[in-house]
Amino acid sequence: MYPDSRDSNTVSFQPESHMDFELEMGIWLSKPVPQGQRVNIANARDHIFGLTLLNDWSARDIQGFEMPPLGPFHSKGSATSISPWIVPVEALELASCGRKTKQEPAPPPHLTWQEEASATFDIDLTVTLLRDGKSYTICESNLNELHWTPFQQITHLSAGGEGLSPGDVFGTGTISSARTNSDGEKTGLGCLFERKLPHTKMKSLPSDLTETFLKDGDEIIMEGWCKNKTTGKVILGFGQCSGRVLPALRN
Reading phi first (left if > 0) and then psi (alpha if -120 to 50, else beta), residue 154 is in: alpha
Q: How many independent structural domains does the chain possess?
A: 1
109 within a domain of the structure (yes/no) = no
77 within a domain of the structure (yes/no) = yes
Q: In whole angstroms, what is the distance from residue 243 CA to residue 251 CA?
A: 23
pLDDT at res. 1: 37
Indicate which CATH number applies to the domain containing 81: 3.90.850.10
pLDDT per position as a tens digit, 133-152: 999 999 999 999 999 999 99
pLDDT per position as a tens digit, 145-203: 999 999 999 999 999 998 999 999 999 999 998 899 888 889 999 999 998 887 888 88
Collapsing DSSP to helix, strand or coil, 200 comes out as helix
221 within a domain of the structure (yes/no) = yes
Cβ-contact 223, 201 below 8 angstroms = no
154 within a domain of the structure (yes/no) = yes
Assess whether pLDDT exceeds 60 at residue 93. yes
Task: Read off the pTM.
Answer: 0.90
Q: In whole angstroms, what is the distance from residue 137 CA to residue 130 CA?
A: 9
Q: In whole angstroms, what is the distance from residue 131 CA to residue 240 CA?
A: 17
Phi, psi angle pair for 230, to nearest 5°: -95, -45
Cβ-contact 117, 106 below 8 angstroms = no
Q: Quick one: what percent of the chain has pLDDT higher than 90?
A: 63
192 within a domain of the structure (yes/no) = yes
* Range of the structural domain that residue 170 is part of: 2-103+114-244
